[in-house]
Amino acid sequence: MSEVNPIAAAMYGRETAEPGTPVRIGTGVIIRNDAGEILLEKRSDCGMWGLPGGRVEPGESVTESALREVMEETGLEIRITRLVGVYSAPKGRIVTFPDNGDVVQLVDAILEAEITGGELRRSEESEELRFFAPNDLPDDIVPPAQRPVRDYVAGKTGVIA
């Protein structure tokens, strides 16, 4: 990324978590179309590209969270095909939310999925949804999604980071 996005810098600029920082469990979903392209959403909170997904709600499994979040954010029905990895390293995962100032450390289960139905539509959380060729991904991917996307494109699975 050549220019620093000030909103993203404020959101993802923390390098370490303070004692007592809540840990938020979430999902990120790598969805490929029939052409092998990866679906990314341009987030409305920071203007950068990320994976569809979000927090695991109480009483919900990782799979249920992924299915719900993808439907809410993209309008697509999916089937989970594999676990890419679990990502918890603090660098790039200490987030300060711009709407309320809450600070959390993200721990995400990144899953691969195939489209089984629905119709692609963006939600209020997205400025845009677009499929990208794996060798032509945008430079401005949010920090929590950067390594998972790189690992996925490299063919890695079962990553614990």
On whether residue 95 sits in a domain, the answer given is yes
Residue 2's pLDDT is what? Answer: 45
- What does the pLDDT look like over 60-110, one tens digit per residue? 999 999 999 999 999 999 999 999 999 999 999 999 988 888 999 999 999
On whether residue 115 sits in a domain, the answer given is yes
Choice between 116 and 5, residue whose per-residue pLDDT is larger? 116
Q: Which distant-in-sequence residues (6+ apart) come within 8 Å of 52 by Cβ? A: 28, 29, 31, 39, 41, 69, 70, 73, 74
Residue 1's pLDDT is what? Answer: 41
Instruction: Tell me the pLDDT band of 4, cut-offs 50, 70 and 90.
Output: low
- What does the pLDDT look like over 20-45, one tens digit per residue? 999 999 999 999 999 999 999 999 99
Is it the case that residue 11 has pLDDT exceeding 50? yes
Range of the domain at 80: 6-160
On whether residue 80 sits in a domain, the answer given is yes
On whether residue 79 sits in a domain, the answer given is yes
Nearest to 11, CA basis, from 110, 121, 139, 140: 140
Q: Is 78 in contact with 123 (CB distance < 8 Å)?
A: no
On whether residue 1 sits in a domain, the answer given is no
- pTM for the model stands at 0.93
Q: Which distant-in-sequence residues (6+ apart) come within 8 Å of 29 by Cβ? A: 51, 52, 53, 66, 69, 70, 78, 80, 110, 111, 112, 113
3-state secondary structure at position 161: coil
Q: How many CB atoms lie within 10 A of CB 70?
A: 26
Is it the case that residue 52 has pLDDT exceeding 50? yes
On whether residue 86 sits in a domain, the answer given is yes
Q: How many domains does the chain have?
A: 1
On whether residue 111 sits in a domain, the answer given is yes
Q: Is residue 38 exposed (0-12), middle (13-18) or buried (19+ Cβ within 10 Å)?
A: buried
CATH number of the domain encompassing residue 108:
3.90.79.10
- What does the pLDDT look like over 133-150, one tens digit per residue? 999 999 999 999 999 999
